[in-house]
Amino acid sequence: MGTVGFVIALAAVASLPGVSFADEALGYDAPLVRAENNAYPFTESTDGVSVVAIRSSPGSDFDLDLQRPDGTFLTSSDFGGSTVDFVVTNHNVDVSKPPVDPQSYRAFVHRYAGSGSYRIQLHSTAWLLGGFEAPAWHDVVLPAGQFLHVMAFIGNRNTDYTITASSNVGSSGEVFVFPQGNPAIDWRPRWAAMAYGSYGFGRAEAVVTFNTGGSDYFYFVFVSTTPGDISDDIYFKIGPYDGTPPPF
């Protein structure tokens, strides 16, 4: 194809509905709602865990790829429909190892089916040292429009833990458990979770028991699956399940 023909063909592709090659800034805990293919660059400059997630509107299905800034593919999350797709990036804080340099990524969202929109959110947390097992429920408030939260902890290796999670009456959500990988820097999509549970609609709880194996660093990703832009609460506790209901 000649140069003129190539330019015309490229222009035709770029003009198709829902097709875009734009990069747009994505701030932490500043969700955006979009209806077109977009790329969202971000840099993880602290030791800890970041999660980028998308939630497609009813009747649409967008997928999420994690790339390097130059477009090099790293991994993807491509569940169907309005299932929340997400990818976790985590950075080692082992003091015996050299500091981790800032890492730059590009979250690329592309339409698979449907004609609706999606909401995208970026969330981050630092590693927390021990002392996280408490008999009381913890309450994490998600402001209106947010649907994502992550908690990262340092525990004990080869130990069984139980996390119990719930939400407000009429709300619903999911919790995912990940161990830190062996590399100092790695990334995990939704499907790579070592354990999973769903909760909500009434007093239904997710009770997830897991063994940390050879990793003493592990983290939990919570996603709200409640439709709309309402504020929500995530209730969770770590420790033996005792049947005490969450405080809602």
Q: Which CATH class is domain 3-238?
A: mainly beta
Cα(176)–Cα(84) distance, rounded to whole angstroms? 12
Cα(180)–Cα(217) distance, rounded to whole angstroms? 5
Cβ atoms of 53 and 120 within 8 Å: the answer is yes
Where on the phi/psi map is residue 212: left (φ > 0), alpha (ψ -120 to 50), or beta? alpha
pLDDT reading at 149 higher than 80:
yes
Q: Where are the domains of the chain?
A: 3-238
User: What are 157-189's pLDDT values in tens digits?
Assistant: 888 888 889 888 788 999 999 887 656 668 899
Give which of 25, 180, 224 is closest to 90, Cα–Cα: 180
User: What are 189-219's pLDDT values in tens digits?
Assistant: 999 999 999 998 766 899 999 888 877 778 8
Please tell me the pTM assigned to this model: 0.84
Question: Edge-to-edge strand order for the sheet containing 185-189?
Answer: 32-34, 118-126, 48-56, 85-91, 185-189
* Partners of 149 in beta bridges: 222
